[in-house]
Amino acid sequence: MIKQLLRIVAGKSNCFSCVPASEEWTALFFAAVRQGIAAYLFSGVERLPSDQRPPLECLMDWAAIADYVEQRNRKLNGLCVKVHDAFKREGAKVCLLKGQGMGMCYPHPLRRDFGDIDIWMAGGKQHVETFVGSKFKEASVGDGSHHVSFVMDDVDVEVHHTPATLYNPLHNRRLQHFFEAEEAAQWDTMVQLSGQSEKVCVPTMKFNLVYILVHLFHHWAFEGCGLKQLIDYSWLLATTELDDDVRKTVVKQLKALGLGNFLAAVMAVLEDIGVDACHLLCAPNRQLGKALWQDVLYTGLVTAEDLSTGKFAQENKRSRFVRRLKRAIRVLPLAPSELPWMLARNVWVWVRWNAFKN
């Protein structure tokens, strides 16, 4: 049912193949919430004929979530402008990564589920950490890998000195070279977020086609991604007019990063939920796509809240390590050259923690 409703939102269908029962609507609603796409799917609910809509109580709950997400996105859009302008006034080069900028690809931008604010700042690791630390006294280096974070108006803001990393050293080096080669073009694309009069800087489409896929992979490989990340990529593709040269360049880059299988699996899923074949980057792999779809539905988006206070909060370090190890082995075929390095890193962290914890 969730796949049918996704196709309805994408405009590929106007109704369900059969009328959902009340308990099916309840299950669909909770699945949408868990996947972080409840507000997004409400646009599909609104398009349904009256005899196929959910029971009134479910409908009201759904409408309330959609309204809350819209209000929260308006606040975040204003905060994005505030953060962007604060950095620009200090002479920093910054652009907005994913998040609110990705919402601009959606047919209803305010119904993309919100998160924190991520920006990329030029200058390298030391410069970014020093700059942010001097301006925001509560700034934290976080995991120490590629961003510094602080809180503004109860919203987490992450300032990246590099947009993303990969586990495989060779692939990560290639990814960083790609960012370096594309960096100069990332400070000039300005967009106006919903409800805002001032513009903010966002990455180019070519950059996002690589970066968002890498970000999606990182979510999926480490803990699990939700449909929210896949829908981001679907609308990025659906709203991008690509010539053959750019398409070939993007696919070549992603394959060089060891993500060829994962890309083909993503293409299969996106075609199933309504992306036209002409917008796909490469031929879909339906077998891998089925495995990815099943994993996304089963695992869903694992958030920091799940790890700190939610369903995984009671895990000790050993059980969390074992769970991640089992997951990496299970999903290995989708990224055979990347996931072993993730396993090696996790093993090293585990050994280091146990050998030097005292």
pLDDT in tens, 290-319: 989 988 988 766 655 544 444 555 677 677
CA dist., res. 296 & res. 41, Å (int):
17
CA 226 to chain centroid: 8
Q: Provide the token pair at 254.
A: 């992603």
CA dist., res. 77 & res. 184, Å (int):
25
pLDDT at residue 221 is higher than 90: no
Query: What backbone phi and psi angles, to 5 degrees, belong to 161?
Result: -90, -15
13-27, 95-109, 328-342: lowest mean pLDDT where?
Answer: 328-342
Q: For the chain, what percentages of helix, strand and coil (3-state, to nearest 5) are there?
A: 60, 5, 30
CA 313 to chain centroid: 22
pLDDT in tens, 108-145: 999 999 989 999 999 999 999 888 888 887 777 655 56
Cα 197–Cα 201–Cα 207 angle in degrees, nearest 5: 145
The single-letter DSSP state of residue 199 is -
Mean pLDDT of 48-61: 94
Tokens 């998040």 belong to residue:
99
Predicted pLDDT of residue 326: 74
Is the separation of the CB atoms in 178 and 210 below 8 Å?
A: yes
Q: Provide the token pair at 206.
A: 């070519």
Q: DSSP E strands: which ranges in 285-324?
A: none
pLDDT in tens, 171-195: 999 999 999 999 999 999 999 999 9
Q: Provide the token pair at 85.
A: 């302008």
User: Which residues, other chains included, contact 299 with Cβ-Cβ below 8 Å and sequence gap of 6+?
Assistant: 223, 224, 225, 327
Predicted pLDDT of residue 215: 92
Instruction: Count other C-beta atoms under 10 Å from residue 126's C-beta.
Output: 9
Instruction: Count other C-beta atoms under 10 Å from residue 168's C-beta.
Output: 20
Q: How does the average pLDDT of the chain come out, rounded? A: 88
Predicted pLDDT of residue 308: 45
Predicted pLDDT of residue 309: 46
Which helix or strand (DSSP H or E) is residue 101 part of? Answer: helix 99-103
Q: Provide the token pair at 183.
A: 């960096």
